Structure 1
Amino acid sequence: MDKLPKIALPAVFIIIVLVILISKSAITIGSGEAGVLYRTFGDGVVTDEPPLGEGFHLVAPWNKVFVYEVRQQEVFEKMQVLSSNGLEIKLDASAWFEPKYEALGKLHQEKGEAYVQRVLLPTIRSAARSVVGRYTPEQLYSSKRDAIQAEIYEETKKIVDGQYIQLNEVLVRDVTLPPTIKEAIERKLKQEQESLEYEFRLITADKEAQRQIIEAQGKADANRILSASLTDKILQDKGIEATLKLAESPNAKVIVVGSGESGLPIILGNN
């Protein structure tokens, strides 16, 4: 009986040590995450193996695991940039991105966990300044926002692709001009719209005048052709046909044959 505590104490101690070791060694990677393994007594950050995927993992207690979110994320940025003529423009943009999964070890080793602040945001700012500097405030306000958005995306992607970051989209959410410039642009756009409306009315009126001229010309040509085709003989025949139809009418009338011009009958009636 005296020997039991001597055996039990080491066993309890071993169990406690094992529990501590297991708790230190157990790593759970959550949904949409991946882990970068750091070997303390090895070569440091593991870059030649895939990162640890979702789920439960056991690692040596003296090693470390750095967990990264690998699903698509969004970062917002408000910037002050200059247009081509030196006016200050406020730009509100966001970017959709995710770390490149297979290169997660390289990203951790070279850029660290703050890679968004160290790499992505400075690159977006630089690209935005470069792109916006090519356009006037009027272009930024009215017609070129989609082009600006596409150019910022292309310039940013060109850089961050080599920094182990996958850029999916850049969105220009708002462009704010100085109030006086905005009002001047709006007045100009309104005047241009009114000018376009006036030109449209002139074109419509001109087309209507052309239509009426063509219609009148057509009628004149038809009358000239008809007049040229009507001979005295045809007129006499038409007069006789009309006389015969009138003669058959029940209304009272007097027909004087051969007394009209060109020998056509004269019709006298009370109706």
Structure 2
Amino acid sequence: MERLPKIALPGIIAIIVLIIILAKSAVTIGAGQAGVLFKTFSEGVVTDKPPMTEGFHIVAPWNKVIVYETRQQELSEPIRALSSNGLDIKIDTSIWFQPEYENLGKLHQDKGEAYVQRVLIPAIRSASRSVVGRYTPEQLYSSKRDAIQTEIFTETNKLLEGQFIQLNEVLVRDVTLPPTIKDAIERKLSQEQEALEYEFRLQKAEQEAERQRIDAEGKARANQILSASLTDKILQEKGIQATLELSKSPNSKVIVIGSGKDGMPIILGNQ
């Protein structure tokens, strides 16, 4: 095998070096990500320019690009806290968050890649304990779930102000009480429900009794009016009208006019 010309060897070496440099200089940023540029021999972290966007980039081989997830992320965090009367409460929370895109360089410079552990988790724990401490176990278990969720979100947002983290939502998924307290609350709620149901039945019974009373009074009043209006002459007239109707019937009968009491007709039939 013939030796390579002396002029070819430096060229091959140069190509290899160029490939290595390009490999170290090429940076690909994926979908939903952004890059923070660190300039080794100048100002360090670039904070006065927007972060590097998705796609392919060429940077100087002595510089570094730190890639961050910029889409909304979820953090599940169980938190133990004390209620207003000192009982141990456990709440399971979900936090929806993302870094502030325009301040990604400042976030990296001040907090670093571990900003979730350094800032977000301590903030959500502190806010949750503060909020839970305002309520009794019964309130936390039943009626105040939405309220504490909103308050934890507000308190956490205050703690994250100026920290370059965008908090989107805080969800309280579950509240766990000591078993004895939970059983006592459930018994109380059950008794309250039974009392409400009994009260409802009483109201229905009272309403039905009132309806029957009004109906009876109405009927009695109608009978009084009818009795007052039925004079002897009206009764005689009604009797005569009924007699005339009966006389039209094909059944055999004998009608004696004026032979009854008060001159009312007497009807003699074949029955």
* Length, aligned pairs only: 269
| CA distance in 2: counterparts of 1:102 and 1:161, whole angstroms | 15
**1:51-200 map, 5 Å:** 51-200=51-200
State the percentage of identical aligned residues: 74
Name the structure 2 match of 1:251. Answer: 251
| CA distance in 1: counterparts of 2:48 and 2:214, whole angstroms | 83
Equivalent residue letter for 1:59:
V
Instruction: Return the offset for 1:159.
Output: 2.5
Question: 1:159-195 CA distances to partner (integer Å, 9 max, x unpaired)?
Answer: 2242111111111111110000010011101111111
Equivalent residue letter for 2:122:
P
| CA distance in 2: counterparts of 1:248 and 1:24, whole angstroms | 122
Indicate the larger mover: 242-251 or 80-89.
242-251
Q: Find the residue that maps to 1:65 and give its secondary structure.
A: strand
| CA distance in 2: counterparts of 1:212 and 1:88, whole angstroms | 55
Q: Find the residue that maps to 1:162 and give its secondary structure.
A: coil
TM (normalized to structure 2)?
0.94
Q: Find the residue that maps to 1:5 and give its secondary structure.
A: coil
Instruction: Return the offset for 1:143.
Output: 1.4
Instruction: Return the offset for 1:199.
Output: 0.5
| CA distance in 2: counterparts of 1:270 and 1:149, whole angstroms | 91
In the alignment, does 2:264 pair up with 1:264? Answer: yes
Instruction: Return the offset for 1:129.
Output: 0.5
Contact 1:255 1:268 in 2 (8 A): yes
Q: Find the residue that maps to 1:6 and give its secondary structure.
A: coil
Indicate the larger mover: 180-189 or 166-175.
166-175
Equivalent residue letter for 1:241:
Q
Instruction: Return the offset for 1:130.
Output: 1.0
Instruction: Return the offset for 1:21.
Output: 1.4
| CA distance in 2: counterparts of 1:132 and 1:180, whole angstroms | 19
Name the structure 2 match of 1:26. Answer: 26
Name the structure 2 match of 1:216. Answer: 216
Question: 1:112-164 CA distances to partner (integer Å, 9 max, x unpaired)?
Answer: 00000011111110111111111111111111111111111121123224211
Name the structure 1 match of 2:207. Answer: 207
| CA distance in 2: counterparts of 1:198 and 1:268, whole angstroms | 63
Indicate the larger mover: 255-264 or 102-111.
255-264
Contact 1:82 1:132 in 2 (8 A): yes
| CA distance in 1: counterparts of 2:95 and 2:199, whole angstroms | 43
| CA distance in 1: counterparts of 2:83 and 2:160, whole angstroms | 24
Q: Find the residue that maps to 2:162 and give its secondary structure.
A: helix
Q: Find the residue that maps to 1:135 and give its secondary structure.
A: coil
Cα RMSD of the aligned pairs, angstroms, is: 1.6
| CA distance in 2: counterparts of 1:69 and 1:33, whole angstroms | 5
Equivalent residue letter for 1:91:
I
Equivalent residue letter for 1:225:
I
Contact 1:32 1:70 in 2 (8 A): yes
Question: 1:215-262 CA distances to partner (integer Å, 9 max, x unpaired)?
Answer: 111111211222222222211111111112222323343433323332
Instruction: Return the offset for 1:270.
Output: 4.0
Q: Find the residue that maps to 2:7 and give its secondary structure.
A: helix
Equivalent residue letter for 2:202:
L
TM (normalized to structure 1)?
0.94
Indicate the larger mover: 238-247 or 258-267.
258-267
| CA distance in 1: counterparts of 2:193 and 2:113, whole angstroms | 52
Q: Find the residue that maps to 1:187 and give its secondary structure.
A: helix
| CA distance in 1: counterparts of 2:261 and 2:132, whole angstroms | 89
Name the structure 1 match of 2:41. Answer: 41
